[in-house]
Amino acid sequence: MEKTELKDAFAEFKNLKNIDRPTMMGVLEDVFKTQLAKTYGTSDNFDIIINIDKGDCEIYRNREVVEEVEDPNTQIALSEVNKDSDEYEIGETYAEKVEMKSFGRRGILNIRQNLQGRIMDIEKANLYNKYIAKIGEIFTGEVYQTWSKEVLILDEDGNELRLPKSEQIPGEHFKKNDTVKAIIKSVEMKNNTTPYIVLSRTSNEFLEKLFEQEVPEIYDGLITIKKVVRIPGERAKVAVESYDERIDPIGACIGVKGARIIGIVRELRNENIDVLQWTGNTQLLIQRALSPAKISSIVTGEDGKIRVYMQPDEVKKGIGKGGCNIKLAGMLVGQEIEVWRELPKQDEEEEDVLLSEFENEIEPWIIEKLQGIGCDTAKSVLALSPADIAKRADLEDETVEEVLGILRSEFEE
């Protein structure tokens, strides 16, 4: 390798790569030792002197002076070293400078390729370690390219981060040069390639970090976020607690006239966010989670499911749009919650039949969907319009008509 080529290689290593000096020296020495071992059979008797700043490298081969050579790689004859003078004696070490050209063209190419490979490995490791330590932190970057299944985002150093479609809020669309805020979800090494860094805007942790950014009391630890549950793009519930009685945790999170929470809502594409005060009392937590719906009673069944009884005009508020309110409440308490319609007193004596009694005529999954929207009896289903049932229970019109026919026949004389 010519001296200018060596300087170019060092310059690339030193100036373009974010590698600390000790690591750099170790890599360079190892690369040369690897080539020395290939060329001479061993690298143990070589001294390598590297000057990073000047881009110089000197290599010296140390051999023992002997009368008769048995191993030319580690020994040299006394007659050879004393051709011009009688300075050396048997047993002394003779140091001879190795010229780069002695490696040959292929050897020089191997050194350069090996060095480039080691640089790439170190860069990958540095990038991996950098982002593995940032998992759970907020990241803000610029969209470089968009595809159907993911968005490519670059950081300030040009490193690639990915925002998969599954980690995007439903309905989001990005274009080149858009600024995106997300949480660093995971970092993976796949087949020794560049680390695959995944971002997320749908994780509960992302919403939690947004609250930390917007609410100083949370950042300072005066208010604790006990639990976050989300249906991304639809609704979220954030349970908070303050150990200082002087601080209103809900008011602090919302801010004056909603000033603090409005920025979070906009960042999440107008996702509705309910902030409620945490409690270890499950029944009280359910009441707060289902607010503004009023609960008549709460019963835990033998199957572990929690049955919440409400007046008919409260059921819709408790279930929420598409059932998201009751689903989030169940996620918050960690148990499945069912809403049951509490019949008015004047209707209590009227004949009615539980939907579970129709399992031989109606598919169980259809009954579960109807129960999920608060219809646990035949009359509670018949009280709704077919269009309302189809929309809220996510059923086909034909299926709804078939179910209504079965239920009506139960009350026909």
pLDDT for 22-38, tens place per residue?
777 888 888 889 988 88
- pLDDT tier at 286 (50, 70, 90 boundaries)? very high
Stretch among 161-165, 199-203, 373-377 having the lowest mean pLDDT: 373-377
Work out the percent of the chain whose per-residue pLDDT is above 70.
Answer: 91
Q: What is the pLDDT of residues 64-85, one digit of tens each?
A: 989 888 888 888 998 888 876 6
Whether the pTM exceeds 0.75: the reply is: no
pLDDT of residue 383: 80
pLDDT of residue 145: 95
Q: What is the mean pLDDT of residues 266-295?
A: 93
- Per CATH, the number for 142-201 is 2.40.50.140
pLDDT of residue 1: 43
> Which tops the pLDDT comparison, 371 or 66?
66
Fold for 350-411, please state it. DNA polymerase; domain 1 (1.10.150)
- pLDDT tier at 9 (50, 70, 90 boundaries)? low
Other Cβ atoms less than 10 A from the Cβ of 237: the count is 23
- pLDDT tier at 5 (50, 70, 90 boundaries)? low
pLDDT of residue 209: 96
Stretch among 48-62, 230-244, 326-340, 382-396 having the lowest mean pLDDT: 48-62
Q: What top-level class would CATH report for the domain 205-341?
A: alpha beta
Q: What is the pLDDT of residues 189-229, one digit of tens each?
A: 877 778 999 999 999 999 999 999 999 999 999 999 999 99
Stretch among 173-177, 216-220, 249-253, 352-356 having the lowest mean pLDDT: 352-356
Spans of all domains in the chain: 3-130, 142-201, 205-341, 350-411
pLDDT of residue 13: 63
Q: What is the pLDDT of residues 105-152, one digit of tens each?
A: 888 788 888 887 887 888 888 899 999 999 999 999 999 999 999 999
**Residue 348 scores a pLDDT above 60:** no
pLDDT of residue 311: 86
Q: What is the mean pLDDT of residues 50-54?
A: 73
Domain spanning 3-130: which superfamily? NusA, N-terminal domain (3.30.1480.10)
Mean pLDDT of the chain: 86
